[in-house]
C-alpha cells in the first residue's frame, strides 16, 4: 500500500480481484433495508471473506449460511459465529466434530438417516431438514421430511425447521417464470415444514429474494458482488467485482488483444466473461482474447489494463487469495479471501 494505504490499481500484479467499494456498499445497504436482520442469512460461499462478512454483520445481518466446514470454522474464528448454518450434507465425523466444538451456534443440514447419524455421533446439537424442492441435488422428499425430523429428535438433535433451495428457478431470466417456479418449490417446502415444525424456513437466493414469500430467511449471497449472469436479470444490485488484467499481446493485423486473465482466474460455468466495449473471443488457461466493439474503442496497447467481468462470482472469487477494495483507479484496502478450501 502507498501513502495512507492508497495505491493505484496500475501498481497491482495481475490478474487481481477488484471489488468496487461504492457498488458493494450500495448492494449491502439496499439488502439491509429490504431484508433487515434475521430476514437475511447471507451465504458466504459467494465471497469467502470474513472482511466482507463483517460489513454484512455491521448492517445487521449476523446469521450466515456456509457451504463448507472451512467457511464455518473461519467465520467462528473471526467472531462471526452467532448463528452459522452449514447448508450442505456432511458425513465426515472428524469435520463434524470440529464444527461441534466451535465457539459458535452451529446448525447443519441433514437429508437422510446417514447424515442424521453422523451429526448425532459428532455431537452436533441442531439441524435443519434439507428438502428437495425441484433442484436435483441434495434434499429428502417433502413427504419424508417429517419422519426424518422425528428420527433426528430421537437421536437427540434439535430440529430448527426446514431448508430448500429453488436453484432450478434462480437462473430463469423471465421474472414471471422465476416467480411461478419458486412458488411451486415453496409449496413442497411448506408441506414439509407442516410435518417437521420448527421456527426456520430457510430458502431463496439473489434472484428470488423478493419472490420467495414463504421463507422466514433468505440465503442470498451473490447480491453483494454480483456477476454478469445475474446482472442481466434486472435485479436492484450492481456488479461490484471484476478481475484486473494486463494486455500482454496485440495482433493489429487480426484486430485482437490478449490479456492475462484466463480460466484459472475466472468461474466459467455460466459462460464467457465480459469486457466493456469489447467482444470476448475465448478464454484459455492464462489468457482472454478479445477485440474492441466495431465503431467503439480502439485496439488496446501492450501494457494497458482492462477489467474483466466474470459471469459467475462464486468460483471466480475462490480462484483468488485476496481482493482489492477500489474506487475508480485507487485501492483503499486489501481483503483476504480467507474462507477458501474445504
Whole-number mean pLDDT of the chain? Answer: 96
Q: For residues 131 and 124, give the distance between their C-alpha atoms in angstroms, rounded to a whole number.
A: 19
* Cβ count within 10 A of residue 158: 12
Looking at the chain, list the stretches that DSSP marks H as alpha helix, in order from N- to C-terminal side.
Answer: 21-34, 50-58, 69-77, 93-100, 113-122, 145-154, 167-170, 175-196, 228-231, 313-318
pLDDT of the residue at 5? 66
- Mean pLDDT, rounded, for 267-290: 96
Asked whether the predicted pLDDT for residue 89 surpasses 50, the reply is: yes
Instruction: Dump pLDDT digits (tens) for 16-49.
Output: 999 999 999 999 999 999 999 999 999 999 999 9
Residue 2: pLDDT band (50, 70, 90) is very low
Confidence at residue 6, expressed as pLDDT on a 0 to 100 scale: 66
- Longest alpha-carbon distance in the chain: 73
Exposure string for 50-64, b = 16+ CB within 10 A, e = fewer: bbbbebbbebebbbb
pLDDT of residue 3: 44
DSSP assignment, residue 155?
A: T
pTM of the model: 0.95
Q: Crossing angle, helix 93-100 and helix 69-77, to 10 degrees? A: 20
284 sits in the region (left: phi over 0; alpha: psi -120 to 50; else beta) called beta
pLDDT for position 171: 94
Q: Report the CATH architecture of 3-15+237-336.
A: Beta Barrel (2.40)
- Can you tell me the distance from the alpha carbon of 85 to that of 106, in angstroms, rounded to the nearest whole number? 6
Residues 89 and 109 sit within 8 Å (Cβ to Cβ): yes
What are residue 76's phi and psi, to 5 degrees? Answer: -65, -45
Architecture of domain 22-225: Alpha-Beta Barrel (3.20)
Contacts of 176 (CB under 8 A, 6+ apart): none
DSSP-assigned letter for residue 101:
T
Which grid coordinates are listed for 182? 419458486
Domain ranges (residues) in the chain: 3-15+237-336, 22-225
Q: For residues 186 and 69, what is the distance between their CA atoms, to the nearest angstrom?
A: 27
Amino acid at each position: 500500500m502507498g501513502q495512507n494505504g492508497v495505491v493505484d490499481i496500475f501498481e497491482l500484479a495481475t490478474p487481481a480481484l477488484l471489488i468496487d467499494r461504492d457498488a458493494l456498499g450500495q448492494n449491502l445497504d439496499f439488502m439491509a433495508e429490504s431484508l433487515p436482520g434475521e430476514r437475511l442469512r447471507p451465504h458466504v460461499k459467494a465471497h469467502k471473506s470474513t472482511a466482507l462478512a463483517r460489513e454484512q454483520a455491521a448492517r445487521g445481518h449476523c446469521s450466515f449460511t456456509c457451504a463448507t466446514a472451512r467457511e464455518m470454522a473461519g467465520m467462528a474464528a473471526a467472531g462471526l459465529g452467532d448463528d452459522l448454518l452449514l447448508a450442505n450434507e456432511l458425513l465426515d465425523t472428524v469435520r463434524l466434530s470440529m464444527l461441534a466444538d466451535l465457539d459458535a451456534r452451529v446448525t447443519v443440514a441433514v437429508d437422510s438417516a446417514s447424515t442424521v447419524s453422523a451429526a448425532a455421533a459428532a455431537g452436533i446439537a441442531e439441524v435443519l431438514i434439507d428438502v428437495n424442492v425441484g433442484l436435483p441435488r441434495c434434499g429428502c422428499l417433502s413427504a419424508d421430511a417429517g419422519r426424518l425430523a422425528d428420527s433426528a429428535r430421537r437421536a437427540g438433535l434439535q430440529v430448527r425447521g426446514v431448508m430448500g433451495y429453488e436453484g432450478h428457478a434462480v437462473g430463469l431470466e423471465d421474472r414471471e417464470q422465476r416467480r411461478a417456479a419458486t412458488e411451486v418449490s415453496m409449496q413442497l417446502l411448506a408441506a414439509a415444514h407442516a410435518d417437521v415444525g420448527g421456527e426456520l424456513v430457510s430458502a431463496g437466493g439473489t434472484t428470488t429474494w423478493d419472490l420467495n414469500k414463504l421463507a422466514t430467511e433468505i440465503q442470498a449471497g451473490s447480491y453483494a458482488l454480483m456477476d454478469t449472469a445475474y446482472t442481466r436479470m434486472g435485479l436492484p444490485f450492481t456488479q461490484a467485482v471484476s478481475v484486473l488484467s494486463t494486455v500482454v499481446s496485440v495482433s493489429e493485423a487480426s484486430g485482437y488483444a490478449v490479456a492475462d486473465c484466463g480460466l484459472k482466474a475466472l468461474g466459467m460455468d455460466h459462460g464467457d466473461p465480459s469486457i466493456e466495449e469489447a467482444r470476448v473471443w475465448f478464454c484459455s488457461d492464462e489468457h482472454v482474447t478479445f477485440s474492441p466493439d466495431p465503431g467503439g474503442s480502439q485496439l488496446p496497447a501492450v501494457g494497458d489494463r482492462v477489467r474483466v467481468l466474470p459471469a459467475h462470482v462464486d468460483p471466480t472469487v475462490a480462484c483468488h487469495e485476496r481482493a482489492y477494495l477500489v474506487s475508480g483507479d485507487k485501492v483503499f484496502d486489501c481483503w483476504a479471501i480467507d474462507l477458501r478450501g474445504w
